[in-house]
């Protein structure tokens, strides 16, 4: 298991390229030598495909392919194989897809016999969702209980960790142990706009709460000078 605490925090910031291909390439060129990780989400992956993963890896980045897989086990097994073959270093799937679905994803990746498997993460509750949103879809548990239940299910399936808000990170660290990956979106430097995020924290607070990696997008990618914004976040750690 990877000891995340041994890796400098600056190397555990994942810059989210939630934009089109042209802008993503511009940002990547600016962040070479600064950022270690970049995230490719649905917008970019559906436009540029697996080639984008290979191109960014050729530039020296580690790549988090965040497609939040969620389908029947057979489909997710094949999808996980495809994403892993793209060269992804980290991938996601929805924990609410169930135990069999997550196990199928891991089985598919294992069958590839890659030299290094991607870090596998289970999505708990999206950081854009509030307690009211959970209730509206029929989930009556308190947010904390729902997140922890899905995190334990992901761990039972054999995933390497979870995606959750910074507000749940401390409890998840105690629940899942020191070696679990806990990747937190919804991270905003002081003074940054919240956008569509509801459960947020500053980078320092997220790491202190037990996050292994932070996903930060718009505060960097929409800044006037993205490299400067990235450097300011690192400086504040």
d(CA 93, CA 2): 20
Active-site hit among 68, 103, 144, 205 = 68
Q: Tell me: the pLDDT tens digits for 161-176?
A: 999 998 899 999 999 9
d(CA 81, CA 78): 5
pLDDT of residue 237: 85
**Ramachandran quadrant class, 191 (left: phi over 0; alpha: psi -120 to 50; beta: rest):** left
Q: Tell me: the pLDDT tens digits for 73-113?
A: 999 999 999 999 999 999 999 999 999 999 999 999 999 99
% of the chain surpassing 70 pLDDT? 95
Per-residue pLDDT band at 195 (split at 50, 70, 90):
low
User: Is the pLDDT assigned to residue 27 strictly greater than 60?
Assistant: yes
CATH of the domain at 14: 3.20.20.70
| DSSP-assigned beta bridge partners for residue 15 | 38, 216
d(CA 45, CA 92): 13
Residue keyed to tokens 């980045």: 61
39 is catalytic: no
The CB density around residue 8, as the number of other CB atoms within 10 Å, is 10
Structural domain for 200, as ranges: 4-235
pLDDT of residue 200: 62
Mean pLDDT of 19-42: 97
Mean pLDDT across the chain, nearest whole number?
Answer: 93
Q: Tell me: the pLDDT tens digits for 110-140?
A: 999 999 999 999 999 998 899 999 999 999 9
Domains: count for the chain: 1
Which residue stretches of 68-98 are H helix? 73-85
Per-residue pLDDT band at 234 (split at 50, 70, 90):
very high
Helix, strand, coil % in the chain, rounded to nearest 5:
50, 15, 35
User: Is the pLDDT assigned to residue 236 strictly greater than 90?
Assistant: no
| DSSP-assigned beta bridge partners for residue 119 | 90
Q: What is the DSSP string of 143-194?
A: HHHHHHHHHHHHHHHT-SEEE--HHHHHHHHHHH-TTSEEEE--B--TT---
Q: Going by C-beta distance under 8 Å and a sequence separation of 6 or more, which residues neighbour residue 49?
A: none
pLDDT of residue 190: 61
d(CA 72, CA 76): 6
> Taking the complete model, does pTM exceed 0.85, yes or no?
yes
Per-residue pLDDT band at 197 (split at 50, 70, 90):
very low
pLDDT of residue 193: 53
d(CA 233, CA 113): 37
Per-residue pLDDT band at 5 (split at 50, 70, 90):
confident
d(CA 51, CA 67): 15
d(CA 21, CA 210): 33
d(CA 224, CA 162): 32
Q: Tell me: the pLDDT tens digits for 49-82?
A: 999 999 999 999 999 999 999 999 999 999 999 9
């Amino acid at each position: 298991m990877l000891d995340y605490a041994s890796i400098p925090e600056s190397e555990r910031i994942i810059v989210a390229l939630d934009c089109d291909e042209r802008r993503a390439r511009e940002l990547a060129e600016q962040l070479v030598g600064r950022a270690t990780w970049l995230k490719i989400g649905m917008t970019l992956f559906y436009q540029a495909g697996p080639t984008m993963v290979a191109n960014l890896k050729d530039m020296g980045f580690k790549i988090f392919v965040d497609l939040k897989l969620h389908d029947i086990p057979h489909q997710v097994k094949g999808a996980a194989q495809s994403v892993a073959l793209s060269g992804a270093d980290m991938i996601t799937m929805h924990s609410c897809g169930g135990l069999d679905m997550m196990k199928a994803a891991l089985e598919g990746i294992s069958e590839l016999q890659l030299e290094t498997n991607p870090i596998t993460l289970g999505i708990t509750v999206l950081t854009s969702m509030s307690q009211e949103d959970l209730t509206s879809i029929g989930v009556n548990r308190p947010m904390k209980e729902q997140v922890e239940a899905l995190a334990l299910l992901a761990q039972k399936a054999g995933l390497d960790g979870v995606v959750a808000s910074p507000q749940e990170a401390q409890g998840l660290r105690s629940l899942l142990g020191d070696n679990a990956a806990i990747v937190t979106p919804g991270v905003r430097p002081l003074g940054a706009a919240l956008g569509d995020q509801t459960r947020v924290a500053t980078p320092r607070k997220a790491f202190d709460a037990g996050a292994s990696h932070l996903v930060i997008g718009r505060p960097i990618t929409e800044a006037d000078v993205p490299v400067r914004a990235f450097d300011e976040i690192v400086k504040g750690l």
